[in-house]
Structure 1
Amino acid sequence: MDTNLPVTSQPRVVIVGCGFGGLRLAQQLRHDPVQVVVIDRNNYHNFQPLLYQVATGALEADSIAYPIRKIFAGQKNFFFRMADVSRVDTTANTVHTNIGDIRYDYLVLATGSLTNFFGIESIERNGMQIKSIPNALNLRSFIFQNLEKALLTEDPAARQALLNIVVVGGGPTGVEISGSLAEMRRSVLPKDYPELDFQHMQITIVEAGAELLGPMSPQSQREAYEYLKELGVHILLNTSIKRFEDCKAYYSDTEFIPTENLIWAAGVNGAAVPGIPENVVARNKRINVNRWNQVEGFTNVFAIGDVANMVTEDMPKGLPMLAPVAMQQADHLADNFRRLAKGQTPVDFKYNNKGVMAIVARNKAVVDLPKGHFSGFLGWLTWLFVHLMTLVGFRNKVVAFIDWAFSYLTADKALRLIIRPFNRRDMKDDKGKRPAEQQNATPQYNAPPPAIQTPQA
């Protein structure tokens, strides 16, 4: 029991997950009379908003990751265990992991989110996602491996499918990776592969809704649309990918886009932990919490960040799954722990919306603030500054700044490396299973390219 954690008279706060919320909470409790135990399956904190830049070669993986133990070096009340959580036992106040059981006095679930494939098994088997550093490295290798294959392919239709890229999802991740890929097509790839005609490379973003960047302002939606159109990205609105098999991304029963490369950025679910009663888990796998971030029905179990479903009058579907929400909830929960220690009543959480932003390409970004909107070069600088300051670790900030400066001055991306060759048969989901049925498929490439749709006002 307790995996060699020291026995102490202080209450033990076990935090499952070291994303934005878990990391911030553990830091906020550094001077409190509690034992802080963080459990994570990785030994590093991952800055997810920049994963797409790892996938497209703008940043290396170690620029957006930082060792957990190094972050907390010198924090005497902190302990870390690298483990997978199998379930929690709320009756025995125990977390069951693959390295043993860990007892808790207070449990905080900060497990984040997982990719939601909406039950489309062919996409889950054969598509690529960007939820982790291994995902991003696999995607980068896969794209460049297909470019190498395109050089050797004599069949024009097969070559076209190797070049085409379909991005599913018009949220910030989908827009950002589409813009980054379009910039690579324009200024980077023709230098590396002069034998290939990249005017025929088709980058398509597919969005089921009526606009891109659905949560943002109409002005940001229109500007992002125009930025992508200027970059030559095909945009399909009010369209869903039904299935992806035999190197074809079907957007109807018979119509498809020929492609070997489908990137799924269309949705996420909360990463609820087994052992939490089903009646407090929402349909999107987020855990229902009250305004103190207490899991419904419990006094010593809490959830923060993406996995927490906190419904308010302004947000009837729950607070957005954004890093600022997780960090503010962590700060608030730390204060409430101090109130509980003094026998005081916790106070309600109130989200302070400081704005949202998305980058599309070089000098092109959109920023929505509570009392205003701006875009273009100023929006791009704002996006860079905010993300640079949010990165963990001085070294990561410096390396990211240098890489971005190099990319800006040279219109190049230096990290076009296939360090770990990727095979679809190696793809695994979170349950460790993902067969690659299309690995040796013989596709037919006879679909017309999709038309660009005009956004609705």
Structure 2
Amino acid sequence: MENNFNLPRNNKKRIVIIGAGFGGLKLAQKLSGSPYQVVVIDKQNFHQFQPLFYQVASSGIEPSSISFPVRKIFQSHSNLHFRTTELVSINADKKSITTLAGEMNYDYLVLANGVNTNYFGSDNMEKHSLPMKTTAEAINLRNRILSSFEKANLTEDADEHAKLMSVVIVGGGPTGVELAGSIAEMRRFVLPKDYPELDFSKMKILLFEAAPRVLNGMSDRAGKKALEFLEKLGVEVCLNTRIDDYDGNKISLSDGATLYARNLIWTAGVSGHQTAGIDSANYTRGNRLLVDNYNRLRPYDSIFAIGDACLIEGNDKYPNGHPQVAQVAIQQALNLARNFVTKKPWRVFKYTDKGSLATIGRNMAVADLPGFKFSGVFAWFLWLFVHLMAIVGVKNRFFIFVNWAQSYFSRDQSLRILISPYKRIKK
């Protein structure tokens, strides 16, 4: 069978972008109409809006509302192409990549393939905990939470009740804090109406953070206010506490204590991808690729990395790397796109911090903006506006706005459905 993976060159230099996340997609869009043939490669055929995964997991919005087909974005751009496959290796000498679908040559290669969940070497945690780094994992988490209550509704075992109804979240960053707050609001306003037979005063939501405060990437004020909001919602926050092991039932803590839960959600860390063909010396902490101020991977003149996947060497302001947030990836993509098309000397990347936001619950959010910091209702509405405008697609924005408005006024969600993968029944 003939393989149509490798496109005709059509006399244009080719830029291959690995990953259709915030950085990869923005880079491709900015190169639309440029003298390059741009090929984006991703395992999924859609762009995922990661900041709202937790709302999918807590039945707040539909998965389709935070996902947008890449091919639809590229429809009106003749020099943008897309292939759904997975990168296997890089041959820098030949300027080619190998994927599961075949080989492709490039003139420039941009690695924008983000990061994976980091379990810090714990095989048990990887096997038994619930991650939330993709839309599929967010749907799986929603199914797991809902099915736990269905199971609790069918058993009279008090111990099993407690295990099924408890939710343990590991990691006090924005994802962990936002997810904890969202589930706490479900416990207060939604679940008691769905499951009147269950006693939700016994449902525990625990958030574990190894550091002395939550939201380490934000200001002390934001961390303190977030902790206040979480405690107001009834979340038990355990600081300076590390989870050493988990077998799907028993949780072993760093202080020697143990507790039991069927649902442990892991949001504690991320790690980059190591790709065959790239020397291990090019990787630093968290498997991030070391790049120069132009996001070029040394010593490969034609390979670049942007977003969470890279760390710029020698940056005094960010010696441990820029924050692994969408704005960094987007700004690096914009700078690299400008450099690819300019006839002027290339411009080094300089990050402009536009601030950070995190929401904990209804009318509860924290904001760190350049020059001032605030929390509460106004921060919450600002969070809503910023995230709504960042969603790809007018239709998606509309449906998310409708879901948010309905949830705000009714304190309810209508998306608590269990959708499991299809399994053919054997006769």
TM-score (norm 1): 0.90
- Identical-pair percentage: 45
Of 79, 91, 95, the residue aligned with 1:89 is 91
Structure 1 residues 216 and 34: CA distance shift in structure 2, 3 A: same
Counterpart of 2:70, as a letter, is I
Q: Give the Å deviation of 1:253.
A: 6.9
What residue is the counterpart of 1:415 in the other structure?
A: 415
What residue is the counterpart of 1:406 in the other structure?
A: 406
What residue is the counterpart of 1:348 in the other structure?
A: 348
Q: Give the Å deviation of 1:80.
A: 0.6
- Which SS does the other structure have where 2:285 is aligned? coil
Structure 1 residues 12 and 2: CA distance shift in structure 2, 3 A: farther
Structure 2 contact 6–103 (Cα < 8 Å) conserved: no
Tell whether 2:350 aligns with 1:338: no
What residue is the counterpart of 1:426 in the other structure?
A: none
- Which SS does the other structure have where 1:152 is aligned? coil
What residue is the counterpart of 1:160 in the other structure?
A: 162
Alignment of 1:276-355 (within 5 A): 276-311=278-313, 312-339=315-342, 342=343, 344-355=344-355
2:13 and 2:58 map into 1 onto residues whose CA distance is 45
Q: Give the Å deviation of 1:72.
A: 1.2
Alignment of 1:43-442 (within 5 A): 43-252=45-254, 254-311=256-313, 312-339=315-342, 342=343, 344-420=344-420
Counterpart of 1:326, as a letter, is A
Q: How many residues align?
A: 420
Structure 2 contact 171–209 (Cα < 8 Å) conserved: yes
- Which SS does the other structure have where 1:18 is aligned? coil
- Which SS does the other structure have where 2:386 is aligned? helix
Q: Give the Å deviation of 1:155.
A: 1.4
- Which SS does the other structure have where 2:35 is aligned? coil
Once the two structures are superposed, what CA deviation does each residue of 1:337-373 show, in whole Å capped at 9, x if it has no partner? 123xx3x431111000000110000000000011101
Q: Give the Å deviation of 1:275.
A: 1.6
Structure 1 contact 15–107 (Cα < 8 Å) conserved: yes
Once the two structures are superposed, what CA deviation does each residue of 1:84-130 show, in whole Å capped at 9, x if it has no partner? 11111111111101111010000000000100000111110000010
1:245 and 1:176 map into 2 onto residues whose CA distance is 25
1:7 and 1:239 map into 2 onto residues whose CA distance is 55
- Which SS does the other structure have where 2:350 is aligned? coil
Counterpart of 2:76, as a letter, is G
2:4 and 2:17 map into 1 onto residues whose CA distance is 14
Structure 2 contact 178–358 (Cα < 8 Å) conserved: yes
- Which SS does the other structure have where 1:101 is aligned? strand
Q: Give the Å deviation of 1:256.
A: 1.6
Once the two structures are superposed, what CA deviation does each residue of 1:122-160 show, in whole Å capped at 9, x if it has no partner? 110000010001100111111111111111212101110
1:274 and 1:368 map into 2 onto residues whose CA distance is 39
Aligned-residue CA RMSD in angstroms? 1.4
Counterpart of 1:350, as a letter, is K
Alignment of 1:21-36 (within 5 A): 21-36=23-38
Structure 2 contact 241–255 (Cα < 8 Å) conserved: no
Once the two structures are superposed, what CA deviation does each residue of 1:327-346 show, in whole Å capped at 9, x if it has no partner? 0000000111123xx3x431
- Which SS does the other structure have where 2:276 is aligned? coil
Structure 1 contact 2–102 (Cα < 8 Å) conserved: no
Structure 1 residues 354 and 255: CA distance shift in structure 2, 3 A: same
Structure 1 contact 113–269 (Cα < 8 Å) conserved: yes
What residue is the counterpart of 1:455 in the other structure?
A: none
- Which SS does the other structure have where 1:288 is aligned? strand
Structure 1 contact 142–421 (Cα < 8 Å) conserved: no
Once the two structures are superposed, what CA deviation does each residue of 1:289-322 show, in whole Å capped at 9, x if it has no partner? 0000000211110000000111411111011111
Once the two structures are superposed, what CA deviation does each residue of 1:25-63 show, in whole Å capped at 9, x if it has no partner? 000000210000000010000000000100000011000
Structure 2 contact 6–104 (Cα < 8 Å) conserved: no
Structure 1 residues 70 and 98: CA distance shift in structure 2, 3 A: same
Once the two structures are superposed, what CA deviation does each residue of 1:235-286 show, in whole Å capped at 9, x if it has no partner? 1000000011150121137422210000000010122422211111113111
